[in-house]
């Protein structure tokens, strides 16, 4: 179990660091040419959504209160709730985009936490 948790944490940490690098690069690109940076910012939206979720997951796992499977089950419930309310769109396109990436990040993190592939 500890080995499985370590592998999953390594993967989460790696994804988190990749997200940080994307966000940092976006800041540099934005300073150079804001319009161009915003035009190609979708990966940054996803990185921010995933990193936000990874921070929460890592806290749950590090505290030892929950197993990866338990955290994954909790996230599945959140994913179901978000999917059930997908029809409730905001008038803000950016808000809708963020919500889409939160859903995508939830699915990926659930996979990492619960799939035997990551054991």
pLDDT in tens, the chain (119 residues): 566 678 899 999 999 999 999 999 999 999 999 999 999 899 999 999 999 999 999 999 888 888 888 999 999 999 999 988 877 888 888 898 999 999 999 999 999 999 888 87
pLDDT of residue 62: 85
Q: CA–CA separation, 16 vs 94, rounded Å?
A: 22
pLDDT of residue 32: 97
Q: Two tokens at 114?
A: 């619960």
pLDDT of residue 1: 53
Q: Are 30 and 37 contacting, i.e. CB atoms less than 8 angstroms apart? A: yes
Q: Two tokens at 56?
A: 């929460």
């Amino acid at each position: 179990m500890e080995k499985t948790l370590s592998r999953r944490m390594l993967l989460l940490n790696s994804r988190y660091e990749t997200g940080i690098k994307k966000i940092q690069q976006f800041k540099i690109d934005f300073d150079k040419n804001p319009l161009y940076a915003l035009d190609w910012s979708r990966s940054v939206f996803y990185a921010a959504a995933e990193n936000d979720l990874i921070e929460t997951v890592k806290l749950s796992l590090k505290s030892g209160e929950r197993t990866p499977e338990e955290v994954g089950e909790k996230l599945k419930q959140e994913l179901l709730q978000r999917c059930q309310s997908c029809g409730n769109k905001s008038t803000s396109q950016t808000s809708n985009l963020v919500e889409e990436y939160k859903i995508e990040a939830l699915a990926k993190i659930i996979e990492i936490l619960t799939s035997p592939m990551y054991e």
